[in-house]
């Protein structure tokens, strides 16, 4: 395949299908051949943009020019479409969440092995600059030994309308934003042993699907990760907060505004108590510049096209896939544990 652009197609031409078809038109090494959506109006829209729309999924999968299919449909039909694409001899990229549960994912992995085709998932938020920035701060040891990382996204409009509000289609925020934030955590923690998770979900705007959740994951060595997604938050909390024995860091937003505060003199001789509410405290008295130093956060730049570049390199035999089956299984297992913990109001141990 080396040298020649791989023919690409997208199934499901909604919001993300449009994103993927644009990527296939702009990234070197892949050439968009066409799309298919079950909704004729979406196919008409594609045609109006100069993109060929197939009349059926079967017609698209029978086209020998296509080597790579991206599936960007609602979550409940990922499995059947991915398996059909693999059976038709195409490599498959699936949107996240890859599946509704581990059992579905295992069938998809089984098909990829059986048909000997690449099957990977668009975990694009591994390339988010805010994530790469907090990762660098922590991995460079800026905060010393880290005890807590908090990863949050907050919106205020509830769940977007449509299939995301319905359980049978894989709606809810655990399967929407949760899968991204948990995947970031798992990617960054690598082989560090996860001990347990305790989770709760919110149903403020929707009885059927969670419109937010909190998961507290404990790792060996006393590190806690808090992952929180909210859709009824009119005051946003920082995207990232972390602290270690050498300092604290905050990244407030996707633009990576924030700071790192490092301690250079832990012991202070003359801390005066301050008035705090109805009492006095020395413990909670703020630090001054003599013992701490503030640094701006330096954003790590990244390129969103990296995911597609990796897929193309894999198809040309030049690289290993960055989003692997064991990673997907681990993430799906954790999602099942989050749901189980929330349902039973219990800590789930690994
Ligand atoms: P959407 O509702 O905008 O689009 C889905 C499209 O799929 C619709 O046009 C619908 O008609 C079509 N469709 C439904 N069933 C189909 C079928 N059987 N065959 C062909 N087409 C079918 O939804 P969206 O926001 O584009 O989400 C699609 C997928 O992308 C979901 O899995 C979602 O979780 C994921 N997503 C990922 C990101 C990301 O950052 N990676 C962001 C948003 C959505």
pLDDT digits (tens, 9 = 90+) for 13-38: 999 999 999 999 999 999 999 999 99
> How many angstroms separate the CA atoms of 288 and 6, rounded?
59
The residue to mutate among 10, 12, 99, having the most atoms of ligand 1 within 8 angstroms of its beta carbon, is 12
CATH class name, domain 6-122: alpha beta
The residue to mutate among 9, 10, 11, 14, having the most atoms of ligand 1 within 8 angstroms of its beta carbon, is 14
**Residue 113 Cα, ligand 1 centroid: separation in angstroms?**
25
Among residues 295, 293, 297, 296, the alpha carbon closest in space to that of 263 is found at 293
Planar angle of CA 139, 145, 146, nearest 5 degrees? 75
The helix or strand, by DSSP H or E, that contains position 290, with its residue range, turns out to be none
Bridge partner residues of 217 (DSSP): 197, 225
User: Where are the CATH 3.40.50.720 domain residues in the chain?
Assistant: 6-122
The answer to whether 37 and 21 are in contact (CB under 8 A) is no
**Residue 89 Cα, ligand 1 centroid: separation in angstroms?**
23
In this prediction the pTM is 0.96
User: Where are the CATH 3.30.360.10 domain residues in the chain?
Assistant: 126-257+297-303+334-349
pLDDT, one tens digit per residue, over 43-101 is 999 999 999 999 999 999 999 999 999 999 999 999 999 999 999 999 999 999 999 99
**Residue 98 Cα, ligand 1 centroid: separation in angstroms?**
12
Please give the CATH number for the structural domain made up of 126-257+297-303+334-349. 3.30.360.10
Residue 303: how many CA atoms within 13 Å on its side-chain side? 9
Instruction: Supply the mean pLDDT for the chain.
Output: 96
User: The tokens 């060929």 sit on which residue?
Assistant: 52
Measure Cα distances from 279 to 13, 137, 269, 285 in Å.
60, 36, 22, 12
For the cut 70, the answer to whether the pLDDT of residue 325 exceeds it is yes
Q: Which atom of ligand 1 is nearest to the CA of 162?
A: 2
Residue nearest to atom 15 of ligand 1 (CA): 73
Report the interhelical angle of 325-344 vs 102-115 (nearest 10°): 170
**Residue 17 Cα, ligand 1 centroid: separation in angstroms?**
7
The residue to mutate among 44, 92, 95, having the most atoms of ligand 1 within 8 angstroms of its beta carbon, is 95
Residue 249: φ, ψ to 5°: -135, 145
**Residue 106 Cα, ligand 1 centroid: separation in angstroms?**
21
């Amino acid at each position: 395949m080396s040298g020649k652009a791989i023919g690409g197609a997208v199934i499901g031409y909604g919001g993300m299908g449009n994103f993927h078809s644009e990527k296939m038109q702009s990234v070197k090494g892949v050439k968009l051949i066409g799309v298919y959506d079950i909704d004729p109006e979406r196919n008409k829209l594609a045609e109006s943009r100069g993109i060929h729309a197939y009349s059926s999924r079967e017609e698209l999968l029978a086209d020998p020019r296509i080597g790579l299919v991206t599936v960007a449909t609602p979550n409940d039909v990922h499995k059947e479409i991915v398996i059909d694409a693999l059976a038709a001899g195409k490599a498959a990229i699936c949107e996240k969440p890859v599946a509704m549960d581990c059992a579905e994912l295992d069938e998809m992995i089984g098909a990829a092995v059986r048909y000997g085709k690449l099957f990977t998932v668009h975990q694009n938020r591994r390339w988010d600059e805010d994530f790469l920035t907090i990762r660098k701060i922590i991995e460079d040891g800026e905060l010393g030994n880290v005890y807590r990382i908090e990863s949050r996204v907050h919106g205020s409009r509830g769940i977007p309308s449509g299939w995301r509000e319905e359980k049978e289609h894989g709606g809810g925020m655990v399967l929407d934003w949760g899968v991204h934030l948990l995947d970031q955590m798992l990617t960054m923690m690598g082989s560090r042993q996860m001990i347990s998770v305790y989770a709760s979900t919110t149903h403020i705007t929707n009885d059927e699907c969670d419109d937010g959740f909190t998961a507290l994951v404990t790792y060996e060595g006393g590190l806690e990760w808090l992952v929180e997604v909210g859709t009824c938050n009119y005051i946003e909390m920082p995207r990232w907060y972390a602290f270690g024995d050498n300092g604290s860091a905050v990244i407030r937003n996707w633009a990576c505004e924030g700071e790192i505060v490092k301690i250079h003199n832990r012991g202070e001789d003359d801390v005066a108590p301050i008035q705090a509410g109805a009492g006095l405290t020395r413990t909670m008295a703020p630090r001054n510049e003599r013992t701490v130093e503030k640094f701006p956060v330096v954003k790590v730049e990244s390129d969103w096209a990296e995911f597609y570049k990796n897929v193309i390199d894999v198809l040309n035999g030049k690289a290993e896939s960055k989003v692997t089956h064991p990673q997907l299984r681990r993430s799906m297992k954790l999602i099942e544990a989050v749901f189980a913990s929330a349902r039973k109001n219990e800590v789930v141990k690994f």
